[in-house]
């Protein structure tokens, strides 16, 4: 029996067409065909005088089925369906609940009216996939809410809550009993004979205001093609008749969907959804219930992790060893909540009320998950896990927030290694989305599933990785830091390296990032491993620790403590380090800097794949996009390598290894093999 993508029932003289394509009513061919058929049947039924479209499940529709992008479209396409709704002789009202996004919102905009549930959120997030709304979104939204508001909504991709959507004119009503309210509105429209169509409206608002907003958007540094196209499409809504604007929008959409930027962003979209899938996990694996948490350590990481649980409504016990450290941690958490200025005091109070501070580690006994977030010192972590083995309740998940230490050695301190894993958060943990979940050799599937579920619950993007020094992200970062150090010794200055990185698309260069993180932290990590770095060590030995004390690779003025200023004193330290090692300095091009930052990192990623530390190349891309600022429009390092061609990267690495004598630059066997076969990393997934 073929799947029924819609079902129709009646509410008096109103046909209620229910979209039924779980989980999010993606507008694939089956659902489009089902809606079109049900609408035609309602139009031909003399007993029906109006129609309501509503989604079954958790939302109206989360948008188009992007797996269809780049494939021949089957009729009816979304534009055909929208035209059919708009042309219906009987009023059609959209009853919107949950998240109504992209093509789902464009479908709703083709209806003669819209009623939203109180929990509804509406958005056009296509720009996050490197495209623009291609089924009339850029033409209809400005006609409803004005060009300036439409520009902000479309170029940010952010969701608009129901009440704001009502105030702006995007929806007609906000109602508690959604279907009942939509049916009443549909009947009222039928009785009045009024069939209001968005396409017949003009764009309200002041043109100058829009032009200023558009100029501000396109005048900020690098402007991605999708952002510029959104501006141009909204201008068309102002200047052109509706059908011409619609045709122009679709032309822009077709150009964008075939662009490298959009392909990269769509790659990241799918990669994120695959990253938490575990190849060998049985389908019936159940996550353990988690209704409470404990965090050990109230420093920067522990405080951020605590905030993540409180933000998600999960009670959390925050454990420290001294009153001073605990007070400092709580004060920092409160300051972080207040700093944004967007969280109401009542909500701050509610979240702070979910945090129970204590100096007694025994209070971790009742927690369903315990996360250790103390200094990166193995002996301290081992001691804590020995205590947790005695204290924590049976079945509790015991996680370490280590960024590079051996999770297996830590779990060996317990009699329950199946319950132990790594949960590597990124700083600031209350903001950064990436969560590396480190699977130990004894970690059970249930423990793994629980960490994944918790990660999603607290708003993170979980990626499963294996145990090795630095796991995936920091291990690859190590290759970049090594390359950065060598570039400094050979002739590049900090601002030149960072300029190359930002021109590539990073928000910050590697040396500005090091200053932000704290050079003393990097120094401690190097010394713990017995690693020397001539330039980095000389700079920290000179008492330069980064932004925290106003001087690192750059200097920082009191007037703007975050603005890096090139410092002649640093150049002197770097030149002296080169001289001591007998290295003749030279001018290094931006192109070479980018190659030397990225290609060794890609090579390390290939080794990580070969060792099974990452499950798939796209997992590495997710880690670098969400944890290290790799530009999403370049798709992550492994996707970028495929775009560059693995042969190009293999040959460059082989030549650099030959010239420098650095064996770590020899191409990884899997990279060499794929290059010889003319394949990319994606083909090896």
Looking at residue 619, its pLDDT comes to 98
pLDDT in tens, 384-410: 999 999 999 999 999 999 999 999 999
Number of H helices and E strands in the chain, helices first, is 28, 19
Percent of the chain with pLDDT over 90: 91
CA dist., res. 380 & res. 384, Å (int): 6
Q: Is 496 a catalytic residue?
A: no
CATH fold for the domain made of 473-612: 1.10.1040
Which candidate, 38, 18, 29, places its Cα nearest to that of 97? 18
Spell out the SS3 assignment of 49-87. CEEEEEECCCCCCCCECHHHCCCCCCCCCHHHHHHHHHC
Calculate mean pLDDT across residues 195-219: 92
Model confidence at 517, pLDDT cuts 50, 70, 90, reads confident
Residues 346-378, buried b or exposed e (16+ Cβ, 10 A)? eebeebeebbebeeebebbbebbbbbbbbebee
In the chain, % helix, strand, coil (3-state, to 5) comes to 55, 15, 35
Specify burial of residue 584 (Cβ count, 10 A radius: 0-12, 13-18, 19+): exposed
CA dihedral 514, 520, 525, 528 (to 10 degrees): 160
Best CA proximity match to 39, nearest among 21, 16, 59, 23: 16
Number of other residues whose CB lies within 10 A of the CB of residue 583 = 15
Q: What percent of the chain has pLDDT over 70?
A: 99
CATH of segment(s) 6-257: 3.90.226.10
Please report the pLDDT score of residue 521 as a whole number: 84
Least confident of 55-69, 135-149, 655-669: 55-69
Tell me, what DSSP letter sits at residue 200?
A: G
Query: What is the architecture of the domain spanning 293-468?
Result: 3-Layer(aba) Sandwich (3.40)
677 is catalytic: no
Residue 222 has pLDDT above 80, yes or no: no
Alpha helices in 460-561 (DSSP H): 473-490, 494-504, 510-517, 519-529, 534-541
DSSP single-letter state for residue 456: H
Beta bridge partners, 546, equal 551
DSSP character at residue 266: H
What SS3 class is residue 320?
coil
Please report the pLDDT score of residue 2 as a whole number.
52
**Which sequence spans correspond to the domains of the chain?**
6-257, 293-468, 473-612
Digit-coded pLDDT (tens) for 146-168: 999 999 999 999 999 999 999 99
Question: Of 43, 68, 86, 126, which is the active-site residue?
Answer: 126
Q: In the prediction, which pLDDT does 685 show?
A: 72
What pairing do the DSSP bridges indicate for beta strands 50-55 and 316-319?
Answer: unpaired
* DSSP per position, 350-366: HHHHTEEEES-GGGGGG
Do the two domains 6-257 and 293-468 of this chain adopt the same fold? no
Helix axes of 345-353 and 323-340: crossing angle, nearest 10 degrees: 150
What pLDDT is recorded for position 527?
83
Residue 65 confidence class, pLDDT cut points 50, 70, 90: confident
pLDDT-based confidence at 510, cuts 50/70/90? Answer: very high
pLDDT at 68: 81
Q: Is the predicted pLDDT of residue 546 greater than 50, yes or no?
A: yes
- Residue 330 CA to residue 343 CA, distance in Å, equals 17
Residue 172's pLDDT band, with cuts at 50, 70 and 90, is very high
Residue 644 above 80 pLDDT?
yes
Residue 561 has pLDDT above 90, yes or no: no
Q: Which two tokens stand for residue 677?
A: 């076969």
pLDDT at 294: 98
pLDDT at 369: 98
Least confident of 135-149, 555-569, 650-664: 555-569
The predicted pLDDT at position 1 comes to 37
Tens of pLDDT, residue by residue over 483-494, are: 999 999 999 999
pLDDT value at residue 211 = 92
Mean pLDDT of 322-349: 93
Of 106, 249, 272, 604, the active-site residue reads 106
Please tell me the distance from the alpha carbon of residue 47 to that of residue 33, in angstroms, as a whole number: 23
Global pTM reads 0.92
Phi and psi angles of residue 675, each rounded to the nearest 5 degrees, phi first: -65, -45
Q: What is the mean pLDDT of the chain?
A: 95
Please say if the pLDDT value at position 584 is more than 50.
Answer: yes
pLDDT one-digit tens code per residue, 407-456: 999 999 999 999 999 999 998 999 999 999 999 999 999 999 999 999 99
Residue 232 in this model has a pLDDT that exceeds 50:
yes
| pLDDT surpasses 70 at 67 | yes
∠ CA 381-385-390, nearest 5°, is 155
């Amino acid at each position: 029996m073929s799947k029924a993508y819609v079902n129709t029932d009646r509410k008096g003289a109103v046909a209620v067409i229910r979209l039924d394509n779980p989980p999010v009513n993606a507008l694939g061919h089956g659902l489009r065909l089902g809606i079109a058929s049900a609408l035609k049947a309602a139009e031909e039924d003399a007993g029906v005088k109006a129609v309501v479209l509503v989604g079954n499940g958790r939302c109206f529709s989360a948008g188009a089925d992007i797996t269809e992008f780049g494939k021949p479209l089957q009729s009816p396409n979304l534009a055909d369906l929208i035209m059919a709704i708009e042309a219906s002789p009987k009023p059609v009202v959209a009853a919107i609940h949950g998240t109504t996004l992209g093509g789902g919102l464009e479908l709703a905009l083709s209806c003669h009216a819209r009623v939203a549930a109180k929990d509804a959120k509406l958005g056009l997030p296509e720009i996050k996939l490197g495209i623009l709304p291609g089924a009339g979104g850029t033409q209809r939204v400005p006609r409803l809410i004005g060009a300036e508001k439409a520009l902000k909504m479309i170029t940010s991709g952010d969701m608009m809550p129901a009440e704001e959507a009502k105030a702006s004119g995007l929806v007609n009503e906000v109602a508690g009993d959604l279907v009942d309210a939509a049916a009443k509105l549909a009947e009222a429209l039928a009785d009045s004979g009024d069939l209001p169509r968005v396409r017949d409206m003009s764009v309200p608002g002041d043109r100058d205001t829009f032009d200023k907003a558009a100029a501000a958007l396109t005048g900020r540094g690098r402007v991605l093609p999708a952002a510029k196209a959104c501006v141009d499409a909204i201008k068309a809504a102002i200047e052109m008749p509706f059908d011409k604007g619609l045709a122009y929008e679709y032309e822009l959409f077709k150009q964008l969907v075939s662009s490298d930027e959009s392909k990269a962003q769509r790659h990241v979209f799918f990669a994120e959804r695959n990253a938490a899938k575990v190849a060998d996990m049985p389908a019936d694996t159940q996550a353990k219930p988690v209704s409470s948490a404990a965090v050990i350590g109230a420093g920067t990481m522990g405080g951020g992790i605590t905030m993540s649980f409180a933000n998600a409504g999960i009670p959390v016990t925050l454990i420290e060893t001294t009153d001073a450290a605990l007070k400092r941690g709580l004060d920092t958490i409160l300051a972080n909540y207040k700093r944004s200025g967007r969280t109401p005091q009542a909500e701050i109070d509610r979240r702070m009320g979910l945090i129970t501070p204590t100096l007694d580690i025994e209070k971790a006994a009742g927690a369903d998950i315990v996360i250790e977030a103390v200094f990166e010192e193995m002996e301290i972590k081992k001691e804590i896990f020995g205590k947790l083995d005695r204290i924590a309740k049976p079945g509790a998940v015991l996680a370490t927030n280590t960024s590079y230490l051996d999770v297996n050695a830590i779990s060996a301190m317990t009699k329950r290694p199946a319950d132990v894993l790594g949960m590597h958060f990124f700083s600031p943990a209350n903001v950064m989305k990436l969560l590396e979940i480190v699977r130990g050799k004894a970690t059970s599937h249930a423990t793994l599933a629980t960490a994944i579920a918790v990660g999603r619950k607290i708003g993170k993007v979980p990626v499963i990785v294996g145990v090795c020094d630095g796991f995936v992200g920091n291990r690859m970062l190590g290759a970049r830091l090594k390359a950065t150090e060598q570039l400094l010794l050979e002739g590049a200055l900090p601002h030149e390296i960072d300029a190359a990185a930002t021109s590539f698309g990073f928000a910050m260069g590697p040396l500005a990032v090091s200053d932000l993180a704290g050079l003393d932290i990097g120094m401690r990590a190097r010394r713990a491993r017995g690693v020397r770095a001539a330039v980095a060590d000389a700079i920290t030995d000179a008492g330069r620790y980064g932004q925290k004390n106003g001087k690192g690779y750059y200097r920082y003025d009191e007037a703007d403590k975050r603005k890096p200023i090139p410092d002649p004193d640093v150049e002197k330290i770097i030149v002296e380090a080169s001289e001591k090692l007998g290295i003749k300095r030279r001018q290094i091009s931006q192109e070479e800097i980018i190659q030397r930052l990225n290609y060794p990192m890609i090579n390390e990623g290939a080794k990580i794949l070969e060792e099974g530390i990452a499950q798939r190349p796209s997992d590495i891309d997710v880690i670098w996009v969400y944890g290290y600022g790799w530009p999403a429009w370049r798709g992550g390092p492994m996707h970028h390598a495929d775009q560059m061609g693995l042969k190009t990267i293999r040959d460059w690495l082989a030549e650099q290894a030959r010239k420098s004598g650095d064996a770590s630059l020899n191409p990884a066997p899997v990279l060499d093999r794929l290059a010889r076969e003319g394949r990319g990393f994606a083909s090896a997934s």
